[in-house]
Structure 1
């Protein structure tokens, strides 16, 4: 496991704990020395993502759904970059793509830049910056209101724009994926935009890291079976790190959704 991936997993373990996580426990779970764990915790503390306490660490930030884009951007960056590469590889050159907002889809945008020629409509100001002036990318910025703290484009103007367009592929990020309650989001505005994207695309690929599995967010977007593929990280299969992961993956497959692990 590389350093970036190990930091990602360390952060997940600390954030997922009800209370303090000990250095000894992290050492055992990660298969590295306690000295390595201490160095990793020091690195995460410098980013204000964990707080060191005697013998271990506690999370310093709210769960990801309660933090804005800037706070979430460095979290699990290595994992999200793998997801971005896997999703981009599923997009055929020449396609018309709708790219959702979110920290993971910014990584998708980075990898889409090498898949041109593509027409890419973005729902994210950050993705727009990433794709601007890239050779082979015909960039469209969907109109709308920029949701404060999120850099996502939402509201009636965004919905009207989407309703006037047709896409070969919608790359949908998601706040929660639940075996019984399907795909869901924490914001009504984001959920409405995703529903419009689903309606206007021939094919939808959903992407989320394993922390979203088993989560039921505030606003339901759609049932599980409406998407044509789901990309997540291999941690989803680890029931110890993600207790809801294996069960949710099983429900996705039973709903006919191909699952791709990165």
Structure 2
């Protein structure tokens, strides 16, 4: 796991729980406790977490220093490759609900090549990417914009999702675990994803391999709630991502089509 991505996941786990032990982080991330300690030292150096006996606590809200802008360029080439594979699963003429997240902004760019489409977005960044594109009927769903993340959440977003039906929901995800299923770091994002899953005929989840084997704060759904999952091929290599192979095997056992690119 690239250190920048691992630090991001570590910080989000600490901030979601308020406090986490080294042992808990090691278990959730599938890395050694020595690696966790080094990462926590780095987060403390950056002023994002404070080391305490046996673990760490967050020192600032995620939105202040580790939101969308901080993650936007991490693994950009990988995210673009994943996004091209996701867009290839969308048929022209469909109605698509596009989730918020750094990877799904890349998906938005590739969906332009699949026009004509009706695309509803839960991300202000994705809306900018799709605005005024030929063949794209853009729907920006209402809601509260989360500071730093630019995702649309809250009661307005939930009502908007519930009022529509979609051929395909493209879902980003904070973590996917063999036992814990699909999970997110934010309760607000989790609620919107749950509503979207209920309103889509098909759901395609997308995440880079750093999310494999991770249990985030809020459980979204069982593994079988998703139809297909797109991730990078490194997820199948246990030496790079220890949590990857067992998670991929559990997804296949749950009937999820896994696509490694």
TM-score (norm 2): 0.78
Q: Gapped runs of 5+ residues in structure 1? A: 1-7, 22-50, 52-58
1:133 aligns with 2:132: yes
Could you list the structure 1 runs, at least 4 aligned residues long, displaced by more than 6 angstroms after superposition: 13-16
Provide the residue aligned with 1:107 in structure 2: 106
Alignment: residue pair count: 219
The separation in 1 between residues aligned to 2:132 and 2:89, in whole angstroms, is 22
The separation in 1 between residues aligned to 2:142 and 2:76, in whole angstroms, is 28
Write out per-residue CA displacement over residues 97-118 of structure 1, whole angstroms, 9 at most, x where no aligned residue: 0000000000000100111000
Provide the residue aligned with 2:36 in structure 1: 18
Q: How far off its partner does 1:61 sit?
A: 8.8
SS in 2 for 1:114: helix
Contact 1:198 1:204 in 2 (8 A): yes
Provide the residue aligned with 1:245 in structure 2: 244
Output the aligned Cα RMSD. Answer: 2.3
1:157 aligns with 2:156: yes
The separation in 2 between residues aligned to 1:61 and 1:249, in whole angstroms, is 35
Contact 2:6 2:210 in 1 (8 A): no
SS in 2 for 1:113: helix
Contact 2:5 2:74 in 1 (8 A): no
Contact 1:195 1:221 in 2 (8 A): yes
Write out per-residue CA displacement over residues 198-232 of structure 1, whole angstroms, 9 at most, x where no aligned residue: 00000000001000011111111100001110000
Provide the residue aligned with 1:210 in structure 2: 209
Say if 1:160 and 1:79 are closer, same or farther in 2 by CA, change over 3 A. Answer: same
Equivalent runs, 1:198-237 vs 2, <5 Å: 198-237=197-236
The separation in 2 between residues aligned to 1:233 and 1:130, in whole angstroms, is 23
Say if 1:146 and 1:10 are closer, same or farther in 2 by CA, change over 3 A. Answer: closer
TM-score (norm 1): 0.78
Q: How far off its partner does 1:18 sit?
A: 3.4
Provide the residue aligned with 1:260 in structure 2: 259
The separation in 1 between residues aligned to 2:126 and 2:84, in whole angstroms, is 15
Provide the residue aligned with 1:75 in structure 2: 74
Question: Which protein has greater RCO, CA pairs closer than 8 Å, 6+ apart?
Answer: 2
The separation in 2 between residues aligned to 1:255 and 1:199, in whole angstroms, is 18
